[in-house]
């Protein structure tokens, strides 16, 4: 269900994942631009930071997953979390969302179910989280069960 952003509670800005406009990537060591590299999440993310796990290419406008099982994690403060995704030529692609390390339950978005499962079809904006109750800092992890996925930007509401 589409709803106006919760502006008074929104504390996390739009977050681009490609290197042209990307900011706040938390990674161990320097990221490799336009080259394949394995990434690990740091132990802790601060609010508004994001990170990668698995083998990815960080491109100018997006990040592209090279091997099955890679994930993107973001720490945010907002009611809703969305991600612009493309299947990268593979369609459909299953994914799984965790919120603070657990299935989202009633805080699932339109494009996920209560156990965090979703299907990536056409390239578009996917609503992953719609928090119920008070808005607070949360950690969202999306894991892709097939390679080839391209992720462009998180938006929050």
Could you tell me if 10 and 76 are in contact, meaning their C-beta atoms sit under 8 angstroms apart?
A: no
Segments of 43-106 assigned E as strands: 50-58, 63-65, 71-77, 80-86, 93-99
What CATH number is associated with residue 37?
2.60.120.260
Burial class (CB in 10 A: 0-12, 13-18, 19+), 104: buried
Could you tell me if 37 and 56 are in contact, meaning their C-beta atoms sit under 8 angstroms apart?
A: yes
Q: How far, in Å, CA of 73 to CA of 14, rounded?
A: 14
User: Cis omega before residue 123 (within 30°)?
Assistant: no
Provide the domain count of the chain. Answer: 1
What's the confidence (pLDDT) of residue 53?
A: 98
| DSSP letter assigned to residue 41 | -
What's the confidence (pLDDT) of residue 151?
A: 99
Domain extent, residue 113, equals 7-156
CB count within 10 Å of CB 57 equals: 16
Radius of gyration of the chain (CA): 14
What's the confidence (pLDDT) of residue 94?
A: 97
- Domain assignment present for 1: no
pLDDT in tens, 83-105: 999 998 777 999 999 999 999 99
- Domain assignment present for 2: no
Q: How far, in Å, CA of 115 to CA of 106, rounded?
A: 9
pLDDT in tens, 24-54: 999 988 899 999 999 999 999 999 999 999 9
- Domain assignment present for 133: yes
Q: Identify the residue whose tokens are 């609010």.
A: 47
**85's tokens:** 């995704």
Could you tell me if 40 and 53 are in contact, meaning their C-beta atoms sit under 8 angstroms apart?
A: yes
- Domain assignment present for 51: yes
What's the confidence (pLDDT) of residue 5?
A: 61
pTM value is 0.93
Q: How far, in Å, CA of 59 to CA of 81, rounded?
A: 22
CB count within 10 Å of CB 141 equals: 19
- Domain assignment present for 110: yes
- Domain assignment present for 117: yes
- Domain assignment present for 14: yes
């Amino acid at each position: 269900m589409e709803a106006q952003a919760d502006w008074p509670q929104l504390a996390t800005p739009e977050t681009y994942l490609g290197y042209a406009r990307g900011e706040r990537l938390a990674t161990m060591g320097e990221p490799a631009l336009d080259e394949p590299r394995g990434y690990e999440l740091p132990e802790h993310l601060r609010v508004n930071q994001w990170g990668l796990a698995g083998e990815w290419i960080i491109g100018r406008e997006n990040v592209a997953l090279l091997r099955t099982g890679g994930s993107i994690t973001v720490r945010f403060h907002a009611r809703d979390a969305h991600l612009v995704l493309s299947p990268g030529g593979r369609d459909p692609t299953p994914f799984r969302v965790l919120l603070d390390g657990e299935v989202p339950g009633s805080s699932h978005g339109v494009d996920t179910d209560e156990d965090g499962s979703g299907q990536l079809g056409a390239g578009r904006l996917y609503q992953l989280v719609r928090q119920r109750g008070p808005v607070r800092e949360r950690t969202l992890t999306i894991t892709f069960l097939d390679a080839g996925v391209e992720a462009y930007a998180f938006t929050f509401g």
